[in-house]
């Protein structure tokens, strides 16, 4: 195998998240029995991993500001040092004029007076955050930016869709900094070794077609870029989809249950694109990330897979 090319280091710093302020049990889902019957599945919460979900009265800009503020504080980062912002969401405002209002609310709320670049990432559905991290990594690795704040923010807009066949949804936001230098708490510093994605336009949008072949393709691309085969990954931090689905698909991708961090499925539900970063934040907060450990943030939707490979800085 050829030696991976030498490049400038990129770090992921201070992952943080916020959830909806109201916690509810899965039994509070509107018309739960009707939804379950419509999907043709048994009422089996222990099997699916239905537990709690979190509902918010805040809008997505407020959620983004709350999470981003927590990240900046944890990293000890001056907002004036942030020179880029990547906002990820599955539901940006419909009107172009309203986009400026959303961006302005986030920039003002976070005090990002010098952020010279703002990018919105939305077409990747629940892979939006990892796609946004790829954008931030490229900006920092190229040398055009030194410190980029990445935030994903979403909420359920129609309560009748709180439960889908593949997940129980929570409202929330998650964020981190992607930078050219280490900063913040030592136990929360990770080096970005590589990012990768794979798509199949033939199955994009088919709700029952998460394809493990795309996960294998991403594994191969990460290995070519970083020299790390999937069997060397210390832990996989996936999306919090229903337990049978995520366990089966990630096993097909080469990750056994012993390497999957899935405890948040019942605890939090599926927070749109935020899940992998939430799972990382909890891993770090619990002190369970090993020095030099290799951690893969990964998420799949029908027709697409994204992965971000990290090494915990010793």
- pLDDT tens per residue across all 314 residues of the chain: 333 344 679 999 999 999 999 999 999 999 999 999 999 999 999 999 999 999 999 999 999 999 999 999 999 999 999 999 999 999 887 777 777 788 889 999 999 988 887 888 888 899 999 999 999 999 999 999 999 999 999 999 999 999 999 999 999 999 999 999 988 888 889 999 999 999 998 877 666 678 889 999 999 999 999 999 999 999 999 999 999 999 999 999 999 999 999 999 999 999 999 999 999 999 999 999 999 999 999 999 999 999 999 999 98
CB 272 within 8 A of CB 167: no
Rounded-to-integer distance, Cα 56 and Cα 274, Å? 15
User: In the beta sheet, which residues pair with residue 312?
Assistant: 190
In the Cβ-directed half-sphere of 35, how many Cα atoms lie within 13 Å? 18
What CA–CA distance (Å, rounded) separates 68 from 313?
22
Residue 253 has which token pair? 């991708």
Give pTM, 2 decimals.
0.94
pLDDT of the residue at 206: 67
Tokens read off for 205: 């949008």
> What are the structure tokens assigned to 10, written together?
């990129």
| Residues with Cβ within 8 Å of residue 277, at least 6 apart in sequence | 15, 17, 129, 152, 174, 175, 176, 297
The 10 Å Cβ neighbour count of residue 6 is 6
Buried b (16+ CB within 10 A) or exposed e, 277-302: bbbbbbbbeeeebeeebbbbbbbbbb
Residue 6's pLDDT is 44
**What integer pLDDT is reported at residue 91 of this predicted model?**
84
Q: What is the CB neighbour count within 10 angstroms for residue 203?
A: 16
The CB density around residue 5, as the number of other CB atoms within 10 Å, is 6
Nearest to 154 by CA among 21, 20, 278, 15: 20
């Amino acid at each position: 195998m050829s030696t991976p090319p030498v490049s400038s280091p990129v770090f992921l710093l201070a992952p943080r998240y916020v959830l909806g302020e109201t916690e509810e049990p899965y039994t509070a889902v509107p018309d739960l029995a009707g939804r379950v019957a419509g999907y043709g599945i048994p009422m089996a919460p222990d099997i699916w991993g239905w537990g709690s979900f979190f509902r918010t009265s805040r809008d997505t800009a407020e959620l983004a500001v709350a999470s981003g503020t927590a990240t900046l504080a944890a990293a000890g980062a001056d907002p004036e040092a942030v020179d880029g912002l990547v906002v990820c969401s599955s539901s940006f405002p419909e009107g172009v004029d309203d986009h400026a209002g959303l961006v302005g609310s986030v920039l003002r709320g976070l005090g990002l007076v010098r952020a010279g670049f703002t990018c919105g990432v939305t077409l990747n559905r629940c892979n939006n955050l990892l796609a946004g991290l790829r954008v931030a990594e490229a900006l920092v690795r190229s040398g055009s930016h030194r410190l980029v704040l990445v935030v994903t923010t979403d909420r359920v807009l129609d309560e009748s869709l709180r439960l889908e066949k593949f997940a129980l949804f929570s409202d929330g936001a998650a964020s981190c900094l992607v930078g050219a230098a280490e900063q913040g708490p030592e136990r929360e510093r990770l080096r970005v070794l590589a990012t990768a994605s794979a798509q199949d336009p033939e199955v994009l949008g088919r709700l029952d077609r998460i394809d493990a072949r795309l996960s294998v393709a991403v594994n191969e691309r990460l290995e070519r870029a970083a020299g790390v085969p999937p069997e060397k990954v210390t832990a996989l931090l996936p999306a919090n989809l229903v337990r049978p689905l995520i366990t089966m698909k990630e096993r097909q991708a080469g990750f056994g249950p012993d390497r999957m961090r899935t405890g948040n499925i019942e605890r939090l539900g599926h927070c749109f694109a935020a899940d992998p970063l939430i799972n990382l934040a909890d891993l770090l907060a619990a002190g369970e990330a090993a020095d030099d450990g290799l951690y893969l943030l990964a998420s799949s939707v029908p027709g697409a897979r994204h992965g971000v490979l990290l090494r915990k800085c010793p």
